[in-house]
């Protein structure tokens, strides 16, 4: 069986051997000989293929421990409490929570449990039926499904949406270049691929002058490298500008890189959902993964999360200890 997949956590547990593919977008691609899964993914993240003596990335992708709410995290800019929203047969409820400046909150949970609904309430697109949400802040929102009817080049589209911001040195270094948007500037916006459109939508969202950035599934349609770069771009932007972000995503690697803390959704898809948190990254992941019966460990070399094979010694041991996600 041959599998093509951008979610590295899924590839890690699914495959015995991996081919690393590198090259230049829309120009050429090179398939390497197969490697064992762990060796291939670690080399890919490190950006260096020792057998070929080829560097495929300027800097390695690092997995670091999420920050705690202390000196590195600012003051609250958004608070909510006991919100409720009914949409057809679906009912969403929340506890009390807050978002602080310079913080990135990952949003995780099963499909159709209200993640997008809550983000839309915070963004002002939906009114809660009950409860409260207080925020004295500007919001920039990237929706789950991105599209454009803009007629013109990517460069002109960026000029219209965020002005000269995208040309500034810091934003260009943190966002435009890592997402390879500098190579798309002459393309027609109406003819972009799904991945290209997603990358530009992320850049437009981050380029807006706002206090809180809401990004719904930013990893969708992006390849594995672009996902990691997008996560780092979001994280860097929030830290350097002391802004806050809430990021919904299903890619565990992406969530692990971008998040300081987690908002966990529980419930039954399409019927009812409940938001818990924000919680610390480790506590939030433990709560989320215990609900789906999956355990993760840390790779000792790359520090990336790795799914334990179901029923393995490590899987059984962590479940017995209530440790579904090792952050160390």
Kindly give the residue spans of alpha helices, DSSP state H, lying in the chain.
8-14, 37-46, 115-123, 154-162, 169-171, 194-207, 224-241, 252-258, 281-292, 313-321
pTM of the complete model: 0.83
Q: Are 73 and 100 in contact (CB under 8 A)?
A: yes
Q: Pairing state of beta strands 76-87 and 130-135?
A: antiparallel
H or E element, residue 82: strand 76-87
Q: Are 144 and 115 in contact (CB under 8 A)?
A: no
- State residue 68's pLDDT score: 52
CATH fold label, 79-292: Rossmann fold (3.40.50)
**pLDDT (tens digit per residue) in 81-119:** 999 999 999 999 999 999 888 899 999 998 899 998 998
Give dist(CA 328, CA 299) in Å, integer. Answer: 10
- State residue 9's pLDDT score: 87
β-strand partners of 320? none
Cβ count near 71 (within 10 Å): 7
- State residue 304's pLDDT score: 86
Q: Is the pLDDT of residue 64 over 80?
A: no
**pLDDT (tens digit per residue) in 264-310:** 999 998 899 999 989 988 899 999 998 888 999 888 888 888 888 88
- State residue 327's pLDDT score: 54
- State residue 128's pLDDT score: 92
Q: Which of 172-176, 198-202, 321-325 has the lowest mean pLDDT?
A: 321-325
Q: Is the pLDDT of residue 311 over 80?
A: yes
Give dist(CA 63, CA 67) in Å, integer. Answer: 12
Q: How far is CA 72 from CA 10, 238, 318, in A?
A: 32, 11, 30
Q: Are 190 and 150 in contact (CB under 8 A)?
A: yes
Residue ranges of domains in the chain: 1-60, 79-292, 295-328
**Residue 153 binned pLDDT confidence (cut-offs 50, 70, 90):** very high
Q: Is the pLDDT of residue 66 over 70?
A: no
φ, ψ of residue 10 to 5 degrees: the values are -70, -45
Residue 87 burial class via C-beta count within 10 angstroms: exposed 0-12, middle 13-18, buried 19 and up:
exposed
Tokens found for residue 155: 């460069």
Give dist(CA 180, CA 298) in Å, integer. Answer: 29
- State residue 326's pLDDT score: 73
Q: Is the pLDDT of residue 180 over 80?
A: yes
**Closest Cα partner for 179 from 232, 132, 128?**
232
**pLDDT (tens digit per residue) in 18-54:** 999 988 877 899 999 999 999 999 999 899 999 999 9
Q: How far is CA 97 from CA 168, 174, 217, 243, 262, in A?
A: 35, 29, 21, 17, 11
Taking all residues of the chain, what is their mean pLDDT, rounded to a whole number?
89
**pLDDT (tens digit per residue) in 233-259:** 999 999 888 899 999 998 988 998 899
**Closest Cα partner for 156 from 167, 147, 170, 145?**
167
């Amino acid at each position: 069986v041959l599998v093509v997949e951008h979610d590295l956590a899924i590839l890690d547990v699914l495959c015995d051997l991996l081919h690393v593919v590198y090259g230049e977008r829309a120009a050429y691609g090179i398939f390497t000989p197969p490697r064992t899964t762990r060796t291939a993914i670690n080399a890919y993240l490190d950006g260096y293929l020792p057998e070929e003596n080829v560097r495929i990335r300027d800097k390695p992708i690092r997995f670091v421990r999420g920050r705690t709410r202390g000196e590195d995290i600012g003051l609250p800019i958004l608070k909510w409490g006991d919100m409720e929203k009914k949409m057809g047969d679906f009912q969403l409820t929340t506890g009390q929570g807050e978002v602080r400046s310079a913080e990135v909150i990952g949003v995780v949970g099963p499909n159709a449990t209200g993640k997008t609904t809550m983000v839309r309430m915070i963004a002002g697109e939906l009114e809660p039926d009950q409860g409260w949400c207080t925020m004295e802040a500007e919001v920039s929102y990237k929706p789950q499904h991105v599209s454009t009817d803009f007629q013109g080049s990517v460069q002109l589209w960026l000029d219209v949406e965020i002005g000269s911001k995208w040309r500034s040195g810091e934003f260009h270094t943190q966002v435009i270049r890592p997402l390879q948007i500098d190579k798309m500037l002459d393309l027609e916006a109406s003819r972009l691929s799904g991945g290209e459109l997603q990358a530009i939508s992320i850049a437009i969202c981050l380029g807006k002058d706002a206090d809180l950035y809401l990004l719904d599934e930013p990893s969708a349609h992006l390849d594995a490298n672009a996902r990691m770069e997008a996560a780092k771009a979001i994280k860097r932007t929030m830290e350097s500008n002391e802004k806050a972000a809430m990021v919904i995503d299903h890619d565990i690697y992406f969530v692990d890189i971008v998040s300081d803390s987690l908002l966990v959704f529980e419930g039954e898809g399409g019927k009812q959902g409940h938001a818990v948190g924000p919680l610390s990254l480790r506590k939030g992941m433990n709560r989320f993964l215990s609900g789906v019966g999956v355990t993760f460990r840390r790779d000792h070399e790359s520090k990336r999360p790795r799914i334990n094979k179901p029923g393995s010694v490590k899987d059984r041991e962590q479940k017995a200890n209530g440790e579904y996600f090792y952050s160390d």
